[in-house]
Amino acid sequence: MTAPLKHFASVTVDVALGDRAYDIVIGRDELASLGTRVAALRPGVRTAIVTDRTVAKHWLEPTEASLAAAGVPTARIIVEEGEGSKSYATLSQVSEALIAAKIERNDLVIALGGGVVGDLAGFAAAILRRGVDFVQVPTSLLAQVDSSVGGKTGINSPQGKNLIGAFHQPVLVIADTSVLDTLSPRQFRAGYAEVAKYGILGDEAFFAWLEKNHADVFSGSAAREHAIATSCRAKAGVVSRDERETGERALLNLGHTFGHALEAATGFSDRLFHGEGVSVGMVLAAQFSAQLGMISPDDATRIERHLSAVGLPTRLQDIAGFAQEGLADADALLALMAQDKKVKRGKLTFILLEAVGRAVIANNVEPAPVRDFLQGKLAKH
């Protein structure tokens, strides 16, 4: 493990993708540098900022001011907050607004917001005029450590999460850690699940560090920047080796096969934030791995204990409205998993664990053992 960053120091992580490589700039108050960086990256560029109503209240004017100070003209496009905006209707709204703003192929779309805005704006950029570049300015912890990096963009289908989309890499990511100060505790916790994920799937030493230092990550000390930078380095390394998820990158989906099904079952609503679904999903993946004899029960318990200690849900019964149709039905959850993007010829793919810090891709998982496992978990109170 590297030593934690000194507070207020910024760090740059390179996503090594050849001529499409880009920087992730991490540090407090980095938003102010956006205009200068954009002007240097694309002299004479026009921009359009896509954001949601809540983020706009806090960060739209500072973002516009940074661009204006660098002589970069911009337009604003504001959507509703929440997973419901990752829809065909909102994609159409954003696309038409970008055309109306006269954003051309050599211009830039700026995604200012959490994972929803980043996915939505990135997908709109990918299909606008057959491809316009974009910049990610993630404003949630989840977006800073996960969804803003790697080029996955898209919207949800009523049949499942992120089923409509494209790989479209940003040209720059600005992760200003000071914007996280405006997140609610629940939003920050949800993002923390993705931080813990990097330790659980591939870095036991980082997970052990989180077990000791998670309070400092939450309080906003230098530990926060260290956790974000470590997470971004981990993801950047995987993306540079497997951009389009033909192999290793699938490991980043630890907890997501279960988690996405739970999100769909709750109607992509605020009953279950994405990171909360991932938290429950990682615990289920660990417990399923233990049931298969791949990981020790003690390791599975260790994962559950840490996620629970920071206030994240770890059981199906922790989800709001658990008794409602869909969540308490193993067959219904299995049907939602069958729509997962990693399904091949009807067989499920899971990311399972051999130890804390060692995840593996399990292809061709038969549905029956998963159904039995879920039924056992649903029977517990």
Q: Are residues 40 and 155 in the same domain?
A: yes
Q: Which residue has the tokens 């920050």?
A: 188
Confidence of residue 1 (pLDDT cuts 50, 70, 90): very low
In the chain, the number of structural domains is 2
Segment 350-372 mean pLDDT? 94
Cross-strand bridge partners of residue 155: 164
**Is residue 194 annotated as involved in ligand binding?**
yes
Q: What is the pLDDT of residues 15-69, one digit of tens each?
A: 999 999 999 999 999 999 999 999 999 999 999 999 999 999 999 999 999 999 9
| Residue 184 annotated as binding site | no
| Residues 248 and 170 reside in one and the same domain | no
Q: Are residues 213 and 262 in the same domain?
A: yes
Higher pLDDT, 367 or 346: 367
In this prediction, residues 202-224 reach a mean pLDDT of: 96
Q: How many angstroms separate the Cα of 18 from the Cα of each of 21, 107, 109, 241? A: 5, 21, 22, 11
Answer whether residue 5 shows pLDDT above 80: no
Is 140 flagged in the annotation as binding?
yes
Domain's final residue, options 182, 210, 242: 182
Q: What is the pLDDT of residue 325?
A: 55
> Where a domain ends, among 120, 152, 182?
182
Average confidence (pLDDT) over 338-363: 86
Helix (H), strand (E) at residue 361: strand 358-365
Structure letter (DSSP) for residue 369 = H
- And the tokens for 333? 């959850």
Q: Are residues 237 and 158 in the same domain?
A: no
Structure token digits, residue 373: 């496992």
Element of type H or E holding 155 = strand 152-157
Q: Do strands 172-176 and 22-27 pair parallel, antiparallel, or not at all (unpaired)?
A: parallel
Q: What residues form DSSP beta bridges with 160?
A: 157
Task: Reduce the DSSP state of residue 327 to 3 states and report it.
Answer: coil
**Does the pLDDT at position 280 exceed 60?**
yes
The span from the CA of 169 to the CA of 154, in Å, is 12
353 and 300 within one domain = yes
**DSSP 8-state secondary structure symbol assigned to residue 101:** T
Distance CA 201, CA 295 (A): 12
151 marked among binding-site residues: no
- Can you list the pairs that 53-58 forms with residues at least 24 positions away whose Cβ atoms lie under 8 Å? 53/78, 53/79, 53/80, 53/81, 54/81, 55/81, 55/112, 55/113, 55/114, 55/117, 55/139, 58/139, 58/179, 58/182
Output the six-digit token pair for 295.
């990981």
Backbone phi and psi for residue 325, each to the nearest 5 degrees, phi listed first: -55, 135
Residues 329 and 356 in one domain: yes
Name the strand (E) or helix (H) holding 365: strand 358-365
Active site amino acids: 130, 152, 194, 235, 245, 249, 253, 256, 260, 274
Predicted pLDDT of residue 326: 60
Q: Is residue 362 classed as helix, strand or coil in its secondary structure?
A: strand
Residue 4 placed within a domain: no
Are the CB atoms for 14 and 20 separated by under 8 Å? no
DSSP secondary-structure letter at 317? G
Give the residue from 243, 148, 255, 246 showing the smallest Cα distance to 198: 255
pLDDT of 268 reads: 85
Same domain, 193 and 69: no
Residue 286 lies in a domain: yes
With a pLDDT cut of 70, the percent of the chain lying above it is: 94
Task: Write the pLDDT tens digit of every residue in 225-237.
Answer: 999 999 999 999 9
- What's the confidence (pLDDT) of residue 220? 87
- The boundaries of the domain holding residue 73 are 11-182
Q: Which of 150, 182, 214 is where one domain is finished? A: 182
Residues 37 and 121 in one domain: yes
CATH code of residue 163: 3.40.50.1970
What's the pTM? Answer: 0.92
Tell me the three state secondary structure of residue 169: coil
Q: Quick one: 193 and 164 in the same domain? A: no
Residue with tokens 């910049």: 135
Domain contains 5? no
In a domain, 354, yes or no: yes
Residues 213 and 297 in one domain: yes
Q: Are 42 and 34 in contact (CB under 8 A)?
A: no
**pLDDT score, position 347:** 75
pLDDT above 90: residue 341: no
Question: Domain for residue 6, yes or no?
Answer: no
**Are 172 and 70 in the same domain?**
yes
Structure tokens that stand for 125 in this block: 């950029």
Cα end-to-end distance, the chain, whole Å: 39
Whether 71 and 103 map to the same domain: the answer is yes
CATH code, 351:
1.20.1090.10
Decide if pLDDT at 164 tops 50: yes
In angstroms, rounded to a whole number, what is the distance separating the alpha carbons of residues 156 and 125? 16
Structural domain includes residue 1? no
pLDDT digits (tens, 9 = 90+) for 100-140: 999 999 999 999 999 999 999 999 999 999 999 999 999 99
Spacing of C-alpha 284 from chain mean position: 19
**Domain presence at residue 144:** yes
User: Is 85 annotated as belonging to a binding site?
Assistant: yes
CB 163 within 8 A of CB 262: no
